[in-house]
Structure 1
């Protein structure tokens, strides 16, 4: 670790200490004055403070519960920070990871864990390769073939059946084909379909955005389910779902989307502290055999930092 990184980590711990102290005794004027004086020391202190406040907001409920159960003394040591603030953050990350997992287990017909890729043969001769930390629910009847991507990413190789079109759904986006191969994913609120073979019809009956168009081999389409943004492009079809072979190919994608994809190979939660950093664009090829190094490579052009707070929580920040 370099001297600069060590200084940043020290400032981050100091900031989190002050936040926990303020949260434990919000009416204490001495604690407020101490925090204000610390922030006034310079731009770096203020930037670290903003980052720490953002992370505390993500874990506020756990920190609040812990503060009520164990009131903090006036002096918070480095050890108390490690055993207090970091434990609270880790606990929140664990809750964030476990709560959706329980719901997925109830709905999913197939689901995977961190770093696990599962090959799933379907009764009609189709095949699905399910990415890590992903889940699907399937329904096959005499009149219908339907797959819902509940979480994560999946590559689908659809067998021909003119009588029963294959219907794949993720959030409010619907992808229909008679025969073909395509990658379907949801990463950082982006819904993406990339067609390797054949063609698919994409519609958005469950979104405010109205869309109904065909996507052919070598083409991809992404929807921002919140803002309605639509992006399209073309690429070598062999690059689609490259995660199947342990590599990730990104071309002018947001940092948030690429980080979300790589994070499926990382235990626990990976959080981006800066929204601005998450909105930056990145292109590259990343080796998923070393996901921490891949994360560092993604944010390296923007001088970002990857910090493993605990084995179950990784924080990515711009400073």
Structure 2
């Protein structure tokens, strides 16, 4: 599916920020060159974003304002982030305000999006979040699904992810937050680098600190203990590479994982077969390969139609 004009404008604004802050050039930066070549609309969108930066600088100069000190990995030009510049004349000066940037993914889609502060977010299938970068804070609202954040260090602007009443705070680290579909209220936090704080708003309980390799599930006033599970975390985050890593999950759980990414759903017809454990590494968009592996390993029978991949016990000959 081709990106919308709004999505292209958002990407162009990010590239304009990076070009201005780092002096990038399409002739010497393969990633920028590839992005421009990927869609004929992108060159025009980038020119508009760069013009917005130039306009912002001229407005500040006319108003006699002094640009703030630039930090590594960020720029005053980040005010155009997401193509969301809003200007209003107040006493001859410019009043600039950002609207939150919305990022989402469809069924089976996985996105990696650089943020204007130098952070990066990987967004799992069927997820939605809003990003709001403020002078004193970086706020992310995870509305549904799952995302992994690689946070640029900036002690003056804490990076806080809100998922329902759950809050996860970091300065410079990497972690994931997932709103579980089963109950709609519990939140799974996994840390791959650094340290984060997690808590539930409105609950009189101390904040919990998680370090790399730690996992925590929060559900309202009920909080599970922190677990040390670096290998489980790496397997759980295999989706960042478009993969599902199974290490003894039941076929029922494996089917649930594949069904998050595909419209053609896996159905385990036999309750006893659903309890069987399985090991393997598969592409998220290849449920048929998983079904074939199950058939070959467990002697199961597979039938496929437009809506479902059914796995059951082989019929006696």
State the SS of the aligned residue for 2:244: strand
Q: Is the 8 A contact 1:200 1:216 kept in 2?
A: yes
CA distance in 1 between counterparts of 2:214 and 2:105 reads: 27
Quick one: structure 1 residues 269 and 228, their matched pair in 2 at CA, closer, same or farther if it must change by over 3 Å?
A: farther
Q: Is the 8 A contact 1:110 1:135 kept in 2?
A: yes
State the SS of the aligned residue for 1:109: strand
State the SS of the aligned residue for 1:129: strand
Quick one: structure 1 residues 265 and 169, their matched pair in 2 at CA, closer, same or farther if it must change by over 3 Å?
A: same
Quick one: structure 1 residues 308 and 221, their matched pair in 2 at CA, closer, same or farther if it must change by over 3 Å?
A: farther
> Which of 136, 143, 157 is residue 143 of structure 1 equivalent to?
136
Matched, 1:233 2:221: no
- How far residue 249 of structure 1 moved from its aligned partner, in angstroms, is 3.0
- How far residue 167 of structure 1 moved from its aligned partner, in angstroms, is 0.5
Aligned to 1:133: 126
Quick one: structure 1 residues 123 and 258, their matched pair in 2 at CA, closer, same or farther if it must change by over 3 Å?
A: farther
- Alignment of structure 1 residues 199-238 onto 2, 5 Å: 199-205=195-201, 210=205, 212-223=207-218, 229-230=224-225, 232-236=227-231, 238=234
Matched, 1:195 2:191: yes
> Which of 237, 248, 272 is residue 244 of structure 2 equivalent to?
248
Q: Is the 8 A contact 1:202 1:212 kept in 2?
A: yes
Matched, 1:291 2:284: no
Q: Is the 8 A contact 1:223 1:231 kept in 2?
A: no
State the SS of the aligned residue for 1:221: strand
- How far residue 240 of structure 1 moved from its aligned partner, in angstroms, is 5.2
Aligned residue pair count: 210
- How far residue 196 of structure 1 moved from its aligned partner, in angstroms, is 1.2
- How far residue 142 of structure 1 moved from its aligned partner, in angstroms, is 1.3
TM-score (norm 1): 0.51
As a proportion of its length, which structure holds more helix?
1
Quick one: structure 1 residues 162 and 282, their matched pair in 2 at CA, closer, same or farther if it must change by over 3 Å?
A: farther
Quick one: structure 1 residues 109 and 170, their matched pair in 2 at CA, closer, same or farther if it must change by over 3 Å?
A: same
Q: Larger relative contact order (C-alpha < 8 A, sep ≥ 6)?
A: 1
Please list every run of 5 or more consecutive structure 2 residues that lacks an aligned counterpart in the other structure: 1-99
Q: Is the 8 A contact 2:264 2:306 kept in 1?
A: no
